[in-house]
Amino acid sequence: MRHTVLVVDDDSSNLASLVKVFERLGLRVLPATSGREALDTLRATPVEVLLTDLMMPNMSGVDLLKNVKAIAPDTEVIVMTAYGTIERAVEAMREGAYDFITKPFRRAHIERVILRALEKQSLLAENKALKAQLADARGARATTGGIIGNAPALRRVLDTARQAAPSTATVMLTGESGTGKELFARAIHRLSPRVEQPFIAVNCGALPESIIEAELFGAEKGAYTGAAATRDGRFSRAHGGTLFLDEVGELSPHVQVKLLRVLQSGEFERLGGVETLRVDCRIIAATNLDLAQAVRNGDFREDLYYRLDVIRITLPPLRARPDDVPLLADHFLRIYAEKNGNRVQQIADRAMARLIDYSWPGNVRELENTIERAVVLANGPIIDEDGLPETILGERRDAQVLHIPLGTPLDEIERRLIRETLRFTDGDKKRAAQLLGIATRTIYRKLDA
């Protein structure tokens, strides 16, 4: 496999000369006459070594170096400088440059420096391969990111995740809140060829609409009040890796348009910017909403929905795999006993039976919180029924029925269902939203209508 070198120089004659030198070494050489052109090339093509002139108009070699380290941190950068600018070359070394070469340079010297940098890249690649082999040897739990369970419903979605992981297809994770969507997203990333690159997660529902665009796409200096400097967004940080968009159904129509463009072309602009940036990242989206219904309601773009919903993986609720409850409970028991310096060793059979019988509207997240609470409040080495919360001890599934006469308007049915669910959760709107599979803000909107 040929090594790739990117050469940047605004002097066309010097650039042509360097291209010939490196082509004689059997290298693949990509020329660029400016820092901006070099960054565009770097976003589109993996480069092992970048050789750049230090003094260039618009974007200096040091500025280019800083951008390269943000976009492709593994790329080795070598700067070329005249004798009068050695101090700037030293500054570049502090910023992460591999080496610098003074002009006029000797061909043999520049060849040695480039080959040493490529040798370092080869050693790094071998090290990554060895780490991958060690990771494979740790077994199924390690490769699936610690996902625990043997239930057939869980095994089926894990098999789908393993099949989807090596591809570049967008994955949509659906299911109730608390079923472990981010855990599955990380597992897919870990099983993919992008495992050594960043995994960046963003909760679209947790960020105010006023800043979500800047968080995703970045912002130029002065784009909004408080933007004191240009900064990259989550897409830029995820270049080469995976971007996980949790609660994607909460995105505003404006941001949906920009997201659709990235999925179609890999291009976007920072907030307040005009420069078109390119990004290569795998998208995994997640939602506990019915996006198909949101499309029908006009709340979510149909074209974006189909772009995101290439491979759908629906995570089973915990009540659909009760046999996994003891495995998960014991796992969380060990974690929180160690974390709290507690000598709790086991869960009594009667308490475990209660856990298995509970419907777990909050799914695995609720089970984890329950075990953590029980461990912290335990008075001895065994967690008994007394250590469980009243919501578990007092549940009666047959009483959770709402009778609605035929002919009741749909809007009234929704309001009654929300009010009865809030009564069941003692006014806890967040838990009520989890039970109903809707966003918390939807409860306020429906009740205010």
Residue 98: which CATH number? 3.40.50.2300
Q: Do 390 and 274 share a structural domain?
A: no
Please tell me the least confidently modeled range out of 47-51, 105-109, 359-363.
105-109
Confidence (pLDDT) at 380: 87
Angle of helix 86-94 versus helix 61-71 axis, rounded to 10:
10
What is the share, in percent, of the chain residues with pLDDT greater than 70?
90
Measure the CA–CA gap between 277 and 266, rounded to whole angstroms.
Answer: 8
The answer, yes or no, to whether residue 167 has pLDDT greater than 70, is yes
Report the CATH number at residue 390.
1.10.8.60
Task: Choose between 394 and 390: higher pLDDT.
Answer: 390
Mean pLDDT value across residues 205-215: 85
Of these ranges, 118-122, 204-208, 252-256, the one predicted with the greatest mean pLDDT is 252-256
Same domain, 389 and 415: no
The mean pLDDT of 259-265, rounded to a whole number, is 93
Distance CA 241, CA 73 (A): 13
Judged against a pLDDT cut of 60, whether residue 192 lies above it is answered with yes
Q: What is the CATH number of the domain that holds 443?
A: 1.10.10.60
Asked if 438 and 374 sit in the same domain, the reply is no
Instruction: Give yes or no: residues 166 and 264 share one domain.
Output: yes
Residue 141 lies in a domain: no
- pLDDT value at position 400? 54
pLDDT at residue 9 is higher than 90:
yes
* Structure letter (DSSP) for residue 106: P
350 within a domain of the structure (yes/no) = yes
Residue 30 has pLDDT above 60, yes or no: yes
406 within some domain: yes
The pLDDT-based confidence of 401 (bands split at 50, 70, 90) is: low
Using the 3D structure, point to which of 279, 299, 314 is the last residue of a domain: 314
- Residue 404 pLDDT grade (very low, low, confident, very high; cuts 50, 70, 90): low
Question: Which residue range(s) make up the domain with 32?
Answer: 4-129
Domain boundary among 96, 129, 162: 129
Banded pLDDT at 407 (limits 50, 70, 90): low
In a domain, 49, yes or no: yes
Query: What pLDDT is stored for residue 231 in this prediction?
Result: 86
What is the rounded average pLDDT of the residues 161-185? 93
Q: In the chain, how many domains are there?
A: 4
H-type helices in 278-362, by residue range? 291-296, 302-308, 325-339, 349-357
Q: To 10 degrees, what angle do helices 253-265 and 209-217 make?
A: 10
Rounded distance between C-alpha atoms, residue 296 and residue 401, angstroms: 28
Same domain, 161 and 306: yes
pLDDT value at residue 216: 93
* Residue 368 reports pLDDT greater than 70: yes
Pair 299, 336 in one domain: no
Residue 56 lies in a domain: yes
Question: Per the domain annotation, does 300 fall within a domain?
Answer: yes
**Residues 265 and 353 occupy one common structural domain:** no
Between 432 and 242, name the one with better pLDDT: 242
Name the domain boundary from 314, 333, 360.
Answer: 314
Q: Are residues 54 and 125 in the same domain?
A: yes
CATH of the domain at 266: 3.40.50.300
- 234 with 348, same domain? no
Burial 237-251 (b: 16+ CB within 10 A, else e): bbbbbbbbbbbbbbb
User: CA-CA distance, 437 to 91, in Å (whole number)?
Assistant: 54
pLDDT band at residue 84 using 50, 70 and 90 as cut-offs:
low
Q: Note whether 189 and 234 are same-domain residues.
A: yes
Q: Is pLDDT of 205 > 70? A: yes
Query: pLDDT tens digits, residue range 217-227?
Result: 988 887 777 77
The reply to whether 442 and 354 lie within a common domain is: no
**Stronger pLDDT, 91 or 281, i.e. the higher one:** 281
**pLDDT at 316 exceeding the cut of 80:** yes
Does residue 144 form part of some domain? no
pLDDT band at 237 (very low <50, low <70, confident <90, very high): very high
- Same domain for 197 and 121, yes or no, is no
